[in-house]
Amino acid sequence: DAKTTQPTSMDCAEGRAANLPCNHSTISGNEYVYWYRQIHSQGPQYIIHGLKNNETNEMASLIITEDRKSSTLILPHATLRDTAVYYCIAPNTGNQFYFGTGTSLTVIP
């Protein structure tokens, strides 16, 4: 896996956009970037993934820098239910997922 670095924790006001950064400077050309989140005592939930282009789905947007060394997950209108730990992962060619420490996002009313 490419090593990923994320801030340990972040706060976001309810209704505002939450921007979660991830550094993956050692990523190789064919490694996707995946984002998952884990709400307490549940299994991780898929959010979005991308390779080079920015991506958007019903949950979030993913912005990947041109050099692919970093990305930002954007939750456009954070709600209290978005409080979770968010993981950025760049799996290796063997496709194992190794989780880093993630970012604990707290959405504040």
Partner 1 sequence: GAVVSQHPSRVICKSGTSVKIECRSLDFQATTMFWYRQFPKQSLMLMATSNEGSKATYEQGVEKDKFLINHASLTLSTLTVTSAHPEDSSFYICSARTRPGGKGYTFGSGTRLTVV
- For partner 1, the binding residues (CB under 8 A) are 32, 34, 36, 38, 41-46, 49, 87, 89, 91, 95-102
Non-local CB neighbours of 88 within 8 Å, separated by 6+ positions: 4, 6, 20, 22, 24, 33, 34, 35, 71, 73, 100, 102
Nearest approach in angstroms of CB 15 to partner 1 is 28
Nearest approach in angstroms of CB 16 to partner 1 is 26
Nearest approach in angstroms of CB 71 to partner 1 is 15
For residues 33 and 22, the answer to whether their CB atoms sit within 8 Å is yes
Nearest residue (CB) to partner 1, 38 versus 106 = 38
For residues 32 and 57, the answer to whether their CB atoms sit within 8 Å is no
Backbone angles phi, psi at 62, to 5 degrees: -125, 120
Nearest residue (CB) to partner 1, 17 versus 51 = 51
Q: Using CB atoms within 10 Å of the CB of residue 22, give its burial: 0 to 12 exposed, 13 to 18 middle, 19+ buried.
A: buried
Nearest residue (CB) to partner 1, 46 versus 65 = 46
Nearest approach in angstroms of CB 35 to partner 1 is 9
Nearest residue (CB) to partner 1, 14 versus 104 = 104
